[in-house]
Structure 1
Amino acid sequence: MKKILFTLSVILSLTACSDDEIASPEIGLTEPDGGYTIDKMQWLRIQPEVKNANDATFSWSLEGEEIAATANLVYVFAEAGTYNLEFKAKNAGGENAKIFSVTVNEKTYLNKITQVFDFLPAPGQSVNKLPAAIDKDTDKATKDTDETMRVKAETSLTSNSMVSLGGFGGYVVFGFDHTVVNKEGNDFIVKSNALATWAEPGTIMVSYDANGNGKADDEWYEIAGSEYNKETTIKNYEMTYYKPETEPTNASEPNYIRWTDNQGQTGYISKNSFNRQAYYPVWKGATITFKGTFLKSNIAGSGNSWSNLPYEWGYSDNWANTNEKAQINIDWAVDKDGNAVKLQGIDFVKVYTSNRAEGGWLGEVSTEVSGFTDLNLP
């Protein structure tokens, strides 16, 4: 890449104006000595003060190519180097521009989950086991809470161990030590334990740190996989689980944890003889409600033979980690209205179980997460 160094800011005034004419925009921004400096895969944020900005339009260009049409710039560089960045403000009175030098430093990052922001599984056969939860105070431990379970999930996922999200809606929210840049082609994999004939698909949501506070509290976008526009898919689905008053004493119980949904349906999660612990998150209250996109499962079988075949593309715990169909493209993201969005990169990922299904002795379909790979890191 050709490097262009600029040591002086350049202000262009294309139109002079008299006292009774509209004044052209005035860009007030002091460039740091030597220009701006940022590490690659970290957000560069520039907020110019523009006077006479009424009815003005704005443009940011990188090496002559427009990258934004906003007053403020939020941009992430994928590669180290020195860049020419130009900001223009234009109204009926004229146009002003300012040119900056931006130095992007090389940086090495971890290719893994580095933080868990939230964790709440729906009832399921591996809940309270992956990770383990403590129900009652003892001499050696204290009953778990939302925060202690978040820390346990973080400990598991930052060490490439597994967490279970339970039945429909159970989720985990995590992040990284860098921004996952949206490059050409597929960008990341959410690692799982998917098998060729037993998928437990999870819907993937992505977000970027728009407000710059380092928290996963910005707008979320859904990765619109192969099932997104199918007639069997239900958007804005809600499911409520009810904590049983007592645990069953028999080896298995088909009518174990009751659920209802916003489609007028009700049913139960079964308890099986292979997992005897409580399936309802022991640190939560009498009911839990989850919301999201419901996907009709491919579950089929009877007796000892069951399968839940994967969807074509766009989900976690759907294809084996080594299969190209497990890879996710950030360009598949859509907003809450289903409109495609173009994200420069993402900082946060949310995964939740997409299905409400059981496979006999195999139990309920429950998404598992065991890690993350940024396909754009070496």
Structure 2
Amino acid sequence: MNWGLPKKIYLLAVCAGVVAVSCKKDKDETVGRSRYISKVYAYVPAPGQLINDSTWGIDKAPATLIGGISGTVSLGAYGGYIVFGFDHAVQNSDGADIAIYGNPLPPPATEWSEPGIVMVSRDVNSNGLPDDEWYELAGSEYTSDATIKHYTITYYNPKKRANVLWRDSRGKTDSVLVNIYHSQANYYPLFITGQDSVSFTGTLLRNTLVNTSGSYTNLSFTRGYADSWSSGDNYTTNKYNSFDISQAVNGNGASVSLTQIDFVKVYTGQNGAGNAVVGEVSTEILGAADLHIQ
């Protein structure tokens, strides 16, 4: 979403029957711990209008997430991601376990949600790094016929201020568009390793961009996505999206029993080009919290 001006200007189980990763209850490590993010392990945004521009899309942006919920991180277009953790393992208890804060706008007239998919992982090899298997927390769109699994997109660095070309695994080609509100030299992230191209693979959610007489909205989904004004999360009251570790599924869609998790990954879940005014759909993150710690 274009942040050159305020948004409103542009919008006028158990072990049986599941894959069991662990059926043993781990020790509660939350006593004396912080409820907020303590470390960011990776920040690899996709191209976008906030990337390389402002505090939302630079290499130092992840540091703003640590210790609170007033951060400024844009993940860019589809697939761009961030990986973070807490100073303890988050327990899988009854109900929601994790809160993720974004900056969606409310429905109906000005709704602008930019849904991000959330994944979790356990430190199975105990090396303190997020290099074990990842599990998606299945949101309300996971089983929809319109949701595409194992989708891959590749963005190509134009090496200048220009629309950023992409190609996907379904044979489609398009671009992330530049606009007049963000004039940085390149919308392709200049601080990531791949400087010729970068690819992302994940679950692709259907587009929800609506243009009503020149007034744009991007609609939310019911539950289970970050930066989304979701009715199922009661975003109106909570001001965050909630996530239940019990919703974890593996790459084949089978439920996974996790007693706790150590790492969280969030990535932009829609490939929404928007236009040269509102810009691409890009999930933004302000912070996260362990809901079991007050």
For the superposition of Structure 1 and Structure 2, which TM-score range results when normalised by the shorter chain? 0.7 to 0.9
RMSD (Å) for aligned C-alpha atoms: 2.2
Q: What letter is aligned with 2:259?
A: Q
Residue pair 2:175, 2:273 contacting (<8 A) in 1 also: no
**Corresponding residue to 1:168 among 73, 78, 91:** 78
The answer to whether the Cα contact below 8 Å between 1:189 and 1:321 also exists between their aligned partners in 2 is: no
Do the aligned partners of residues 321 and 191 (structure 1) sit closer, same or farther apart at CA in structure 2, a change above 3 Å counting? farther
Residue 172 of structure 2: aligned partner:
265
1:123 is aligned, of 47, 50, 66, to 47
In 2, the alpha carbon distance for the partners of 1:115 and 1:233 equals: 31
String of CA shifts for 1:253-312, please: whole Å, max 9, x gaps. Answer: xxx111100100000111111111121101341111111100112111056400111001
2 CA distance for matches of 1:158 and 1:338? 32
- Unpaired runs of 5+ in structure 1? 1-68, 79-104, 134-148, 249-255
Structure with bigger gyration radius = 1
- Equivalent of 1:365, from 255, 276, 281? 281
Q: Secondary structure at the match of 1:125?
A: coil
Shift of 1:321: 7.7
CA shift, 1:108, in A, is: 1.1
Residue aligning to 2:181: 274
2:137 is the counterpart of 1:227: no
Match 1:345 to one of 260, 265, 271? 260
**1:333 aligned to 248, 253, 259, which one?**
248
- Alpha-carbon deviation of 1:153? 3.7
Structure-2 residue corresponding to 1:199: 113
What whole-Å deviation, never above 9, does each CA across 1:72-129 have from its counterpart, x for those lacking one?
9964234xxxxxxxxxxxxxxxxxxxxxxxxxx8821111110011110000011113
Q: How far 1:229 sits from its partner (Å)?
A: 0.9
Aligned 1:70-89 pairs, distance under 5 A? 75-78=25-28
Q: Which runs of 5+ in 2 are unaligned?
A: 1-19, 230-234
SS in 1 for 2:289: strand
The change in CA–CA distance for 1:184 and 1:74 in structure 2 (over 3 A counts) is closer
Gap change, CA 1:355 and 1:73, over 3 Å in 2: closer
2:30–2:88: 8 Å Cα contact kept in structure 1?
Answer: no
Q: Structure 1's 73 and 227: CA in aligned 2 closer, same or farther, altered over 3 A?
A: closer
Matching residue's letter, 2:176: I
More strand by share: 1
What is the one-letter code of the residue matched to 1:111?
R
1:218 equivalent among 125, 132, 135 = 132
Look up the SS of the partner of 2:64 in the other structure: helix
Please report the TM-score for the alignment, with normalisation by the length of structure 1.
0.64
Matches within 5 A, 1:125-164: 125-129=49-53, 130-131=55-56, 133=58, 149=59, 152-159=60-67, 160-164=70-74
Shift in CA distance, 280/324, structure 1 to aligned 2, threshold 3 Å: closer
SS across alignment from 2:222: coil
In structure 2, what residue type is equivalent to 1:183? S
Conserved? CA contact 1:300–1:359, under 8 Å:
no
Give, in whole Å, the separation in 2 of the partners of 1:124 and 1:325: 23
Q: Is the 8 A contact 1:307 1:359 kept in 2?
A: no
Count of matched residue positions in the alignment of Structure 1 and Structure 2: 259
CA contact (8 A) 1:222 1:333 kept: yes
Match of 2:292?
376
Give 4+ residue runs of structure 1 displaced > 3 Å after superposition: 72-75, 130-133, 320-325
1:123 is aligned with what amino acid? P
Higher relative contact order (CA 8 A, sep 6+): 2
Q: For the residues of structure 2 that align with 1:180 and 1:321, how far apart are their CA atoms? A: 25
Please list, as runs of the form range in 1=range in 2, the aligned pairs for 1:56-67 lying within 5 A after superposition: none
The equivalent residue for 1:185 is 95
Aligned partners of 1:345, 1:125: CA distance in 2, in Å?
36
The DSSP-based 3-state class of the residue aligned with 1:177 is: coil
The Cα of 1:246 is off from its aligned counterpart by 2.8
Once the two structures are superposed, residues 131-180 of structure 1 have per-residue CA deviations (whole angstroms, 9 ceiling, x without a partner) of 464xxxxxxxxxxxxxxx3xx24411115311100000000000000111
- Identical pairs, percent: 41
Cα distance in 1 for residues equivalent to 2:30 and 2:224: 31
CA contact (8 A) 1:192 1:321 kept: no
